[in-house]
């Protein structure tokens, strides 16, 4: 789950009613545990998988998973797990994954994403030195990286996972901005991670490798555990 940018034209906006309800939905302990398991899974998961992981009945899992989907925190797809089709293939199973929908509740209201959007627009229009933006991101990364690369990546929201001999990031902390200016945002992200690597003294390289479902940056070789 991410956080939606508050309406910049409404200084009193703390987040929409649906955003507040979605956040409140996670106040229920079982529901929060179910969400955490689904969000941490690399692939969509079934009700049975979630129920077993959190140690609740399938009925309880189904109730809370459907509530999370209604609140926009999870997305649902129907698929036959056997891979078979046609008569006798069985009914499709409901599978759940974390939603890409972004939520935000800010008290008091803040406009950090608005400021970032302005910087991106200025860079794209040639009114701002893109190199200075990259240098600032790399400096920030070096500061954050002093806490250790793994800790820095987790704290920044990248959600690192080791797959196929690399460290990939299941979340882009700049998801909303990426859709506005992908090249600049990916460049910023790369510079930030490069700075973290340098600041932590890790022996790994940050590279751009765009792939659906992952951040555009990854590390090779993977971060040592």
Coil, strand or helix at 93: strand
pTM of full prediction above 0.75: no
| pLDDT digits 0-9 by tens, 15-32 | 556 777 878 888 899 999
HSE on the CB side for 172, CA within 13 Å? Answer: 26
Q: What is the pLDDT of residue 100?
A: 82
Q: Which residue has the higher pLDDT, 94 or 3?
A: 94
Residue 219 token pair: 């590390």
Is 43 buried (19+), middle (13-18) or exposed (0-12) by CB count in 10 A?
exposed
Q: Which stretch of 28-37, 72-81, 98-107, 180-189 has the lowest confidence by average pLDDT?
A: 98-107
- Give the neighbor-by-neighbor strand order of the sheet with 160-163: 160-163, 166-169, 217-220, 205-208
Residue 91 token pair: 């009914």
Sequence-distant (≥ 6) Cβ neighbours of residue 138 within 8 angstroms: 191, 192, 194, 195, 198
- Mean pLDDT on 139-147: 93
Does 1.10.10.10 match the CATH number of domain 17-98? yes
Residue 48 has pLDDT above 50, yes or no: yes
The domain segmentation of the chain, as residue ranges, is: 17-98, 112-220
Task: Return d(Cα 122, Cα 117) in angstroms, integer.
Answer: 9
Residue 115 has pLDDT above 80, yes or no: no
Residue 85 has pLDDT above 80, yes or no: no
* Residue 117's pLDDT band (cuts 50, 70, 90): confident
């Amino acid at each position: 789950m991410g956080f939606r940018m508050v309406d910049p034209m409404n200084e009193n906006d703390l987040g929409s009613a649906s955003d507040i309800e979605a956040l409140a939905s996670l106040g229920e302990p079982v529901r929060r545990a179910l969400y955490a398991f689904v969000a941490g899974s690399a692939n969509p998961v079934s009700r049975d998988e979630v129920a077993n992981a959190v140690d609740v009945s399938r009925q309880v899992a189904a109730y809370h998973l459907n509530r999370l989907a209604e609140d926009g925190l999870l997305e649902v797809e129907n698929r036959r797990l056997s891979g078979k089709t046609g008569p006798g293939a069985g009914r499709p199973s409901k599978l759940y994954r974390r939603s890409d929908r972004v939520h935000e509740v800010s008290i008091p209201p803040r406009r950090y994403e608005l400021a970032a959007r302005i910087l991106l627009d200025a860079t794209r229009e040639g009114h701002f030195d893109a190199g200075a933006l990259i240098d600032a991101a790399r400096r920030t990364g070096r500061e954050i990286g002093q806490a250790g690369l793994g800790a820095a990546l987790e704290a920044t929201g990248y959600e690192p996972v080791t797959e196929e001999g690399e460290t990939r990031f299941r979340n882009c902390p700049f998801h909303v901005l990426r859709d506005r200016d992908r090249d600049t945002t990916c460049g910023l992200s790369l510079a930030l991670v490069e700075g973290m690597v340098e600041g932590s003294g890790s022996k790994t390289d940050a590279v751009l490798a765009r792939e659906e479902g992952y951040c555009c940056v990854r590390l090779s070789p993977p971060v040592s555990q």
